[in-house]
Amino acid sequence: MSVTPIVDHADWSLSYFDRSDAQELTSPFPKQKDAAERCTRWFAILDAAKIPNLEEILASQSSECRCLFSGKTAEDIGAVSPWLVDLDKTSSLAKSILSTERVPLGYWSAEAWVAFEASAPFDDLWSHLRKFTRVWAKNGSSKYFRFYEANNYRTLSLEELSSLNTYFCKLFSDRISRMSIPDVENDALQILEFAGGTPIARGPNGLRLSESEVEPILERALDLRFRKAALEMMRACEDQDISVPSERDCVRVLLILRDECGYRYWDDMTRAGTALAVEQLFSASAIRARLQLAPFTSKSEQALYLWNSVVRVA
């Protein structure tokens, strides 16, 4: 077993732990030397949006688990929600998230989890992590925040990590000591240990996240969503044997839809953008002219109409 430090900083450290080494261990996540004294355990957040039938899979496990959402939110989006799981109570589940087999047997390639070494009891950690599923804007509005998305943390620069100091103070607080992230490209666990700053006071708003505190993560997530939507647009053109646009052209279409045409939701932007790419419409004037030919009051209806027109042609 070898843990390789890659960054050592006054406030935090990053290290790599080889995945194949971890699979051979009884407890596949490396613990700190004083873990027994501090009664720390490893927990994971599994992403139901990336693991089909996750709730049913967890029901067959002996590990303690619970959806981070509750009430009506859990009813509405439970099938794509994050689930907190105690890994130390079932070694089979801990090994599953390191397995390269296809889901649901293996979650590694799907990058469907992040893990935490924590001293807090399950219920306390669950209550704590629930606070990070939303970020708040200055005007008081909020939106969902996928803090459990592995892509949020990989390859963060020194400057970005430093700018996230307040966020990590809130996330780690006095409960979490280390965080583990799957790094599929390097076939390793990336382990982030944070020891900087002063724990944020507990209270109803003490841990509330503002958008400015997680700006590097939000920017990265936005970039990934643009790239994912652009890839879908390019594939649609390839499937129809027409000229495949560049990623830059596809992103430009998405930006025009968002900034000039009033589109707000990613599903709508992707559907409309795909139709426009198939029709080889990439300029703002051409896009506006095309949308005027499909005058719907709802952007969702307009996007679906455009998408269906492309599907029928296919």
Whether 132 maps to a domain, the answer reads yes
Total of domains in the chain: 2
Whether 168 maps to a domain, the answer reads yes
pLDDT of residue 299: 92
Other C-beta atoms closer than 10 Å to the C-beta of 264 total: 10
pLDDT of residue 122: 95
Whether 99 maps to a domain, the answer reads yes
Q: How far apart are CA 231 and CA 245, in angstroms?
A: 10
HEC string for 18-39: EHHHHHCCCCCCCCCCCHHHHC
> pLDDT tier at 203 (50, 70, 90 boundaries)?
very low
Q: 151 with 27, same domain? A: yes
- What's this model's pTM, rounded to 2 decimal places? 0.71
Whether 213 maps to a domain, the answer reads no
> pLDDT tier at 62 (50, 70, 90 boundaries)?
confident
| Residue 63 pLDDT > 80 | no
Q: 73 with 98, same domain? A: yes
> pLDDT tier at 56 (50, 70, 90 boundaries)?
confident
Average pLDDT, the chain: 81
Token pair 């996330």: residue: 171
Whether 215 maps to a domain, the answer reads no
What single-letter amino acid sits at 215?
A: E
Residue span of the structural domain in which 13 resides: 3-207
Question: Of 207, 242, 266, which residue is a domain's last?
Answer: 207
Mean pLDDT value of segment 222-237: 87
Tokens of 63: 């590990």
Q: How far apart are CA 260 and CA 106, in angstroms?
A: 43
pLDDT for 91-140, tens place per residue?
677 777 777 776 555 677 778 899 999 989 999 999 999 999 999 888 88
Question: Of 207, 233, 266, which residue is a domain's last?
Answer: 207
Question: Of 185, 207, 229, which residue is a domain's last?
Answer: 207
Whether 212 maps to a domain, the answer reads no
Question: Do residues 42 and 94 lie in contact, with contact meaning Cβ atoms separated by under 8 Å?
Answer: yes
Whether 214 maps to a domain, the answer reads no
Q: 118 with 50, same domain? A: yes
Q: 64 with 182, same domain? A: yes
pLDDT of residue 28: 52
Mean pLDDT value of segment 16-25: 67
- H or E stretch at 215: helix 215-239
Q: 171 with 192, same domain? A: yes
Q: 44 with 190, same domain? A: yes
Tokens of 121: 């009891």
pLDDT of residue 159: 75
| Residue 22 pLDDT > 70 | no
Q: 181 with 270, same domain? A: no
Angle 110-27-178 (CA atoms, 0-180°, nearest 5)?
A: 70
Whether 262 maps to a domain, the answer reads yes
Q: 8 with 79, same domain? A: yes
| Residue 25 pLDDT > 80 | no
Q: 130 with 8, same domain? A: yes
Token pair 């089909």: residue: 52
Q: Identify the residue with better confidence: 154 or 140.
A: 140
| Residue 33 pLDDT > 70 | no
- H or E stretch at 188: strand 188-194
Q: 201 with 273, same domain? A: no
- H or E stretch at 142: strand 142-144
Q: Are strands 134-136 and 82-86 parallel, antiparallel or unpaired?
A: unpaired
Q: 200 with 261, same domain? A: no
CA distances (Å), origin 96, targets 45, 82, 90, 107, 122 = 13, 17, 10, 6, 20
Mean pLDDT value of segment 287-311: 90
| Residue 35 pLDDT > 80 | no
Q: 134 with 19, same domain? A: yes
| Residue 201 pLDDT > 50 | no
